[in-house]
A and B are shown apart, each in its own frame.
Chain A
Amino acid sequence: MALSIVDSCVNCYACYDVCPSEAIYQSSPHFKINARKCTECEGDYAQPQCASICPIEEAILDASGAAVNPPGSLTGIPPEKMAAAIREIQAR
């Protein structure tokens, strides 16, 4: 079982620094998790460390492919507010 990093990653190194299993590596276009090394932090921490520090919603997925930090969960911006703002800006 392992977590994975997807497209929305901004390459901030935060997860890389805190992973207890050295499972995270720098790659292009973004950081990746080596599924063989990732332990989901089991035995080290109660929560997966990468997903506990990552500032970007939807950048890290759990083993089932669901975002550990879904939209709105980190910024506090309700997704519908975000969508409305994007529409408004694009209409200018």
Chain B
Amino acid sequence: MQLNVIGQENAAADGSSCASGSCGSSNDQMSHLPQDIQDKVKNHPCYSEEAHHYFARMHVAVAPACNIQCHYCNRKYDCSNESRPGVVSEVLTPEEAVMKTKAVAANIPQMTVLGIAGPGDPLANPQRTFETFRMLSEQAPDIKLCVSTNGLALPDAVEELSKHNIDHVTITINCVDPAVGAKIYPWIYWNNKRIYGEKAAKILIRQQQKGLEMLVAKGILVKVNSVMIPGVNDDHLKEVSRIVKQKGAFLHNVMPLIAEAEHGTFYGIMGQRGPSPEELQDLQDECAGDMNMMRHCRQCRADAVGLLGEDRGEEFTLDKIAAMDIDYNEAMKKRAVIHAGIMEELDEKEAKRKRLAAVSVPAVEATVPAATRPALMAVATSGGGLINQHFGHATEFLIYEAAPKGVRFIGHRKVDQYCIGGDTCGEKESALDGSIRALKGCEAVLCSKIGYEPWSLLEEAGIVPNGEHAMEPIEEAVMAVYREMVSNGTLESPAPQMESASA
């Protein structure tokens, strides 16, 4: 493996003024972290916008049981058209999970991370979860392991976790105040009793905080996920962010609530709305002052396989795996070569980006007056930091904010097509409607090509399609379009209103 050059370069880039290029990119987020943590996470697809195009992750669903109820979860829902977290179609035994992991790792050598995330709570299924980890640490030592939990059973699991090849633990922490918690968690199962309301929330919060402290004391990396629920914990999450950082979490990831009546969740049925993209962004910005924020979490299904944003689970069903003949020791050799190659490529890219950024800085500052308002733009990319995807093929868009001081990566928006359950299951709204809805608030969309129909619909929606920067580096192209907007007067009128994506 290559030595870590990415981190050092970012450290250098930080010292210079905030330029197009690295500003706000996820690599830059990582530069605040100590070197040893950067080394640990740099080939993790979930932490780096760059790495996720190259390295893949998979989840195995070995943990069906749960010990709490969250108002955004419906344990009855299990539909393969669904892509929300916690949803899964096939629960595996630990043996099956290990077989599947090895099959995927041999066939998708870029797969570096195996996670157990559900469909229940992994630590409420300690035998199944730890048996899987034990076997994998032994049989596939080149795979990093990670686990997410609601935290209730965490303090009891820390000792066992520290024995395995665990890369990091994710705790979902939505509150530090029981009064807030009682609006999110109706009950927990604790000491052989079902416990409700604030009393339950108080126990859960205590266990989460204790578990966080214990993991940090053991030197295990901890990431904290929070679900932003407008009117319930939105303001409160700033406090959560402050506390978890103080206790040593290395990343805080604020995700939007997904709530639709058709999901059958409490929030969905009761009409609780999710945050608009703008509200989410504002909160992430506010928390960022305290904490490294993750901007490109894809909220995967608990059995997702492949690069972030894609799911190749279909290729690895149990019968297909049974027919594969995997020699894992051979596979490991091939994997090591491929991983080294990818790291080299990433390092070269970073060096190139740095050179380009250094060149383009003065031009930016010279042409855009400092008082110009920022603009959001969407980009269709299949990776490599380039605008290289056809509009119609995009299943998600990367969102960038262009401002006089530079371009920054804000997050991604999924083109979400969800099934509406019951008899209509399988019917989807058109992909085009989904794309346009995902782009609310953006003023331009940059892609390699675009068809006639979407072109006119986008224009109607006030989003300017742009195919002129195909194959160009994203940040420079976004800046070029921004400069055009400055010169043609677009930015003198106010920014478009963002509407709630869930409205």
Q: Tell whether A and B belong to one assembly.
A: yes
Chain A positions within 8 Å of B, measured between CB atoms, are: 8, 10-14, 17-18, 45-47, 49, 52-53, 55-56, 74-77, 81-82, 85-86, 88-90, 92
Is the CB–CB distance between B78 and A10 below 8 Å? yes
**Chain B residues near A17 (CB-CB < 8 A):** 65, 125
- A52-B189, A52-B194 given as contacts; is B269 within 8 A of A77 (CB)? yes
What residues on A are CB-neighbors of B125 within 8 Å?
Answer: 13, 17
B421: which A residues are within 8 A, CB to CB? Answer: 89
Contact (A55, B269) CB under 8 Å given A12-B75, A89-B421: no
Report whether B266 and A14 are in contact in the complex, using a CB–CB cutoff of 8 Å: no
Given contacts A56-B76, A75-B186, contact A45 B192 (CB under 8 A): yes
Q: Is the CB of A10 within 8 A of B75?
A: yes
**Chain B residues within 8 Å of chain A by Cβ, number:** 34
- Are A53 and B194 CB-contacts (below 8 A) given A10-B78, A12-B66, A14-B124? yes
Is B120 touching A85 in the complex (CB atoms < 8 A)? no
CB pair A76–B71 under 8 Å, yes or no, is yes
Q: Are A52 and B193 in contact (CB under 8 A)?
A: yes
- Interfacial chain B residues near A46, Cβ < 8 Å: 193
Least Cβ–Cβ distance between B8 and chain A, in angstroms: 47
| Chain A residues whose C-beta falls within 8 Å of the C-beta of B187 in the assembled complex | 74
Which of A18, A52, A74, A81 is the one whose CB lies under 8 Å from B69? A74
How far, in angstroms, from A47 to B256 measured CA to CA in the complex? 37
Interface residues of B in 63-80 (CB under 8 A from A): 64-67, 69, 71, 74-76, 78
Neighbouring B residues of A77 by C-beta, 8 Å: 266, 269-270
Instruction: Kindly state the separation between the CA atoms of A52 and B71 in the bound complex, as whole angstroms.
Output: 18
CB of A64 to closest CB in B, whole Å: 20
Given contacts A14-B189, A47-B192, A89-B421, 10 further A-B pairs with CB under 8 A are: A10-B75, A10-B76, A14-B64, A46-B193, A55-B66, A75-B265, A76-B71, A81-B269, A85-B264, A90-B422
Tell me, in angstroms, the Cα distance from A45 to B265 when the chains sit together. 30
| A32 CB to nearest chain B CB (Å) | 16
Decide yes or no whether B310 CB sits under 8 A from chain A. Answer: no
B262 close to chain A: CB less than 8 A: yes
